[in-house]
A and B are shown apart, each in its own frame.
Chain A
Amino acid sequence: MAHERALIEELKGRTGLWEYRDYSGVDFGGIDLTKREFRYCRFSGAKFTEAKTDGIQLLLCLLDDIEARDCSFKGSRMMSVMAAGAILTGADFSGSDLINVNFNGIGGRGSIFDESDLFYSRFIGAGLADSSFQDCNLKRVDFSGAYMQGVDFTDSNPEESYLIGGDAE
């Protein structure tokens, strides 16, 4: 707990770039992470519910099994990020660059990815019912085996993605 508190205090102290930190299991509830930049950090199992995460920037970070229900990641930039198994129900990624991101197995019912660039990302086996991908770049995105009932692809290019085995309507 003391280690977790120290990590959070360090984040509260200043904005800027954070590298090679291990935030596994940390509860970020109420913490302002707006526009913070993290590189090569581990957030496995961390809780982001109630955290402020708009505009967050992540490079090669691990967000596997995080809990970020209804979180807003609007305008975020993620590259080569691993978020497999994350709980992202109702999360909002509108207007984000989500390049080469591993969303395999996420719980993402009702999540919003509108106006985002998802080039080369993967949603294999993800739960995406009622999620929204309006006006997105879906080139080389992999939705294999994803549950996609009610997904909205208006003004996007799902024909350039991999939908093999997916359950698109």
Chain B
Amino acid sequence: MRLLSHFPAIGISNTYIVGPKGGGDALLVDPGKFDVNLLELIENNGFNIKAVLVSHEHKNHVYGLKTLLKIYNAEIFAGKDGVMGFPAHELTDGTCIKAAGIPVEVIDVQGHSSDSRIYRVGPYLFTGDILSAGRLGTSPSPHARELMLRSVQEKILDRKEDLLILPGHGPPTTIQAEKRWNPELQIGSKTF
């Protein structure tokens, strides 16, 4: 399995691609911006995007979907049954699916937006706006923040320490690094 990452200069939302070695059907996580660089990255690696995993329907994570679907015939997987007006497979917590033939575990973590989903694909954890290096995502209320913190502790932090966290914004990290260096999780561990 190969991982590719795309960090656009405008928008600053990460897009990731996972597909087989040597090219073929692949999945793409969060098409925030579909630009020429992303297209070249896909094509130069011989990938055909068959599935899109949406972490949540905020514009900076899905804005490129319209362009992507003009080029690739891809299924959309999300926390709701439609994204940007396109039909999507609605995913619930704990479900294991196959997207572009690749096994994906779905984790529902509330607190940022009601449709937020985290996806585990092999050794990679795509966390969207829930968890990034040294930070938890933003929340609309203190209650939502507490919910997010509790969910991250219960559903994310007890996983393998070297699991690679690939967030919607910011650089990559690991479970181990977040336990050690994320100040919000340090406080949380004392609270719960």
Nearest CB to that of B134 among chain A residues? A124
State A144–B181 Cα separation when bound (angstroms). Answer: 11
Contact yes or no, A40 B3, CB < 8 A: yes
Interface flag for A87 (CB, 8 Å)? no
Q: Which of A116-164 contact B (CB under 8 A)?
A: 120-122, 124-125, 140, 142, 144-145
Interface flag for B104 (CB, 8 Å)? no
Interface flag for B173 (CB, 8 Å)? yes
Interface flag for B138 (CB, 8 Å)? no
A62 proximity list for chain B (CB < 8 A): 164, 172, 174
Interface residue tally for chain B (C-beta within 8 Å): 23
State A122–B169 Cα separation when bound (angstroms). Answer: 11
Partner of B183, one of A81, A121, A124: A124
A80 proximity list for chain B (CB < 8 A): 5, 7, 14, 171-172
Interface flag for A26 (CB, 8 Å)? no
A146 to chain B, nearest CB (A): 10
Contact yes or no, A84 B181, CB < 8 A: yes
Known contacts A40-B3, A120-B12, A100 near B171 by CB under 8 Å: yes
Nearest CB to that of B169 among chain A residues? A120
Q: Which of B1-27 contact A (CB under 8 A)?
A: 2-5, 7, 12, 14
Known contacts A62-B174, A81-B171, A104 near B7 by CB under 8 Å: no
State A82–B180 Cα separation when bound (angstroms). Answer: 14
B185 to chain A, nearest CB (A): 11
Contact yes or no, A105 B2, CB < 8 A: no
State A37–B61 Cα separation when bound (angstroms). Answer: 29
A100 proximity list for chain B (CB < 8 A): 7, 170-171
Interface flag for B162 (CB, 8 Å)? yes
Interface flag for A33 (CB, 8 Å)? no
Nearest CB to that of B164 among chain A residues? A62
Partner of A101, one of B135, B171, B176, B183: B171
Partner of B171, one of A44, A85, A105, A122: A122
Interface flag for A99 (CB, 8 Å)? yes
Nearest CB to that of B177 among chain A residues? A84
Known contacts A99-B7, A102-B133, A125 near B183 by CB under 8 Å: yes
Known contacts A44-B162, A105-B177, A82 near B2 by CB under 8 Å: no
Point out residues on A near B: beta carbons under 8 Å. 20, 40, 44, 59-60, 62, 64, 79-82, 84-85, 99-102, 104-105, 120-122, 124-125, 140, 142, 144-145
Of the A-B pairs whose beta carbons lie under 8 Å apart in the complex, a sample of 18, sorted by A's number, is A20-B2, A44-B162, A60-B5, A60-B172, A64-B174, A79-B7, A82-B173, A84-B177, A84-B180, A85-B180, A100-B170, A101-B171, A104-B133, A104-B181, A122-B134, A122-B171, A124-B134, A124-B183
